[in-house]
Structure 1
Amino acid sequence: MTSATDSPLPAVTRLIATDLDGTLLRDDKTLSDRTIAALAAAEEAGIEVFFVTGRPARWMDVVSAHVHGHGMAICANGAAVADLRADGRLIEVHPLEREVALEVVRILREVAPGTSFAVELTTGIHYEPAYPPFHLDPGATVAVAEKLLHEEAPGTGAPVLKVLAHHPELAPDAFLALARESAADRASVTRSSPTALLEISGAGVSKARTLAACCAERGIAQSEVVAFGDMPNDVEMLEWAGASFAMGNAHPAALAAASGVTLTNDEDGVAVVIERILATR
């Protein structure tokens, strides 16, 4: 793998796709002045910047001022596309069917006793009593996952973007491997947290798949995309993009998937590459 200064770049870069936490954002969840300037310069040069994150749209306020002309963000690991200029209004949703979600919950309860769950709907998150609480969502309903996923009649409930599964004792990668072995034929399973917290989406849903569709709509070729990420939920996107960079702080799976490596998120690793792209235009 090559570094940020010598890794090959596309002959033409038309879109930059970047993860947020652990990638574009510093560890204190802010954007540095250097990164803000690099994003603005890229957009000014005609390069679209897409934020591609596991976060829900309602947690995008940290970057919503920096989406510039297009206003789009891919959220919830590809399960939703949001217009950040319209307060995060969802313009595209790829849901996890509730029957499938219930089956995955059943499987994980069986193979990993002690797992607790949260359910991320298009309307907000709700979670079980044992699940680590979300202090940013004080209005969440607290109940068992089976009740959270219940709907009075098919199609009457809000779409499910993902189910989150937390285990208090298993190692994060071991939990991911177990869940994929047990349920990967039913849903997409990944993780972005340093803890044993899994994110479960509809089968085939990923950052890469939704990004590819967004690029196709804009007539942007795969070879014209540069992507950045740091965790297992970025792997498919890093593999898909014409050029890709894992952060210096990245998970081994992301490092293996990327065509290059840049500095850490606290060292403005994304900005370093964007500056190089602009310097070569």
Structure 2
Amino acid sequence: MTSATDPRPRPADGHGAAGATVPVRLIATDLDGTLLRDDKSVSERTVAALAAAEAAGIEVFFVTGRPARWMDVVSAHVHGHGLAICANGAAVVDLHAGGKIIEVRPLERADARATVEALRAAAPGTTFAVELTTGIHYEPGYPPFLFDPAAGIGTAEELLHEEVPGEGAPVVKLLAHHPAITPDDFLDLAREAVGSLGTVTRSSPTALLEISGPGVSKASTLARCCAERGIAPEEVVAFGDMPNDIEMLAWAGRSYAMGNAHPAVLAVASGRTAPNEEDGVAAVIEQILTER
């Protein structure tokens, strides 16, 4: 049985890429709880592994729930390739251009307003934040973003209002927080309440949900980027630790849950590696390069 510290893959359960029979062309990795240490640093071992992968001709995509403006944690470790998928697939970002957003898959404001209404009815006490391409804004009762001191504060309806319909900054995602419901229960409740209005997921250990446009996920945007490059799913290795990584891990030919991953992530990944604090991503990359 594969252990938490063994980077070797288990059978891929239908992905068609167990072992090293298909050459790896792209590595897709989550950041928080996965590539990054708990202090948000990138270890020397991981920096070396990323550089070695790119030197071997393997593309590296950072695929994260973070907004573009929070990508400075890895900007120094971008080599030949500089694209990242941010906000759970809602934005494609050019890290070589200072985090410039080059593609947006927005949550329509009408759907965002309907989502707010649905969640307020289903889970009274929910507070919201609105992530725009220009920055984040939140309701008075929402946990403040210490990294965004310039954020605007108002009701969700005020934050989603446009002076001229269709001319406001695109909504990258809606965030919903509840002070009492457990994280997984809140996720289940919200998915039922929101339905087809948007894609609901979570990456926080608290009851903080992230809502993107319908069909928008890390997996769907990664699939689009790979198709543009002629890269098949079986040529992709993906890493993650939280529910917002599940679709990506299921899509990739070879996928790894971190040793610190959520149980639902452990259930879907085709392999398991060491926790983020023990450089689990680097361990697998080193193994891949040895196989080559």
Contact 1:176 1:190 in 2 (8 A): yes
- Which one of the candidate residues 5, 8, 13 is aligned to 1:5? 8
Amino acid at match of 2:117: R
Q: What is the distance in 2 between the residues matched to 1:120 and 1:62?
A: 19
Amino acid at match of 1:210: T
The residue number in structure 2 matching 1:253 is: 264
The reply on whether 1:167 has 2:170 as its aligned counterpart is: no
The residue number in structure 1 matching 2:144 is: 133
**1:110-259 correspondence to structure 2 within 5 Å:** 110-259=121-270
SS at match of 2:196: coil
**CA offset at residue 280 of structure 1?**
0.6
SS at match of 2:101: strand
Contact 1:121 1:160 in 2 (8 A): yes
Amino acid at match of 1:100: D
Change in 2 beyond 3 A, CA 1:17/1:182: same
SS at match of 2:153: coil
Q: What is the distance in 2 between the residues matched to 1:254 and 1:51?
A: 18
**CA offset at residue 6 of structure 1?**
4.5
The reply on whether 1:84 has 2:87 as its aligned counterpart is: no
Q: What is the distance in 2 between the residues matched to 1:29 and 1:63?
A: 9
Amino acid at match of 2:121: E
**Is there any run of 5+ residues in structure 2 with no aligned partner, and where?**
11-17
- Which one of the candidate residues 45, 59, 80 is aligned to 1:34? 45
Contact 1:96 1:162 in 2 (8 A): yes
SS at match of 2:46: helix
The reply on whether 1:17 has 2:28 as its aligned counterpart is: yes
The normalised TM-score by structure 2 is 0.95
- Which one of the candidate residues 45, 48, 68 is aligned to 2:79? 68
Contact 1:228 1:238 in 2 (8 A): yes
Q: What is the distance in 2 between the residues matched to 1:253 and 1:148?
A: 33
Q: What is the distance in 2 between the residues matched to 1:156 and 1:19?
A: 32
Q: What is the distance in 2 between the residues matched to 1:157 and 1:128?
A: 19
SS at match of 2:186: helix
SS at match of 2:112: helix
The reply on whether 1:278 has 2:289 as its aligned counterpart is: yes
Contact 2:9 2:270 in 1 (8 A): no
SS at match of 2:40: coil
**CA offset at residue 195 of structure 1?**
0.1
The residue number in structure 2 matching 1:263 is: 274
**CA offset at residue 154 of structure 1?**
1.6
SS at match of 2:103: strand
Change in 2 beyond 3 A, CA 1:136/1:13: same
**CA offset at residue 52 of structure 1?**
0.1
Which deviations, in whole Å up to 9, do the C-alpha atoms of 1:106-137 show, x marking residues without a partner? 01111101101000000000000000001111
Give the % identical residues.
Answer: 73
Q: How many residues align?
A: 281
Amino acid at match of 1:268: D
Q: What is the distance in 2 between the residues matched to 1:155 and 1:70?
A: 33
Amino acid at match of 2:263: P
Higher relative contact order, chain-length normalized (CA < 8 Å, sep 6+)? 2
Contact 1:50 1:67 in 2 (8 A): no
Amino acid at match of 1:267: E
SS at match of 2:239: strand
Which deviations, in whole Å up to 9, do the C-alpha atoms of 1:40-87 show, x marking residues without a partner? 000000000100000001000010121211210000000000001111
Contact 2:8 2:271 in 1 (8 A): no
SS at match of 1:74: strand
Q: What is the distance in 2 between the residues matched to 1:45 and 1:134?
A: 39
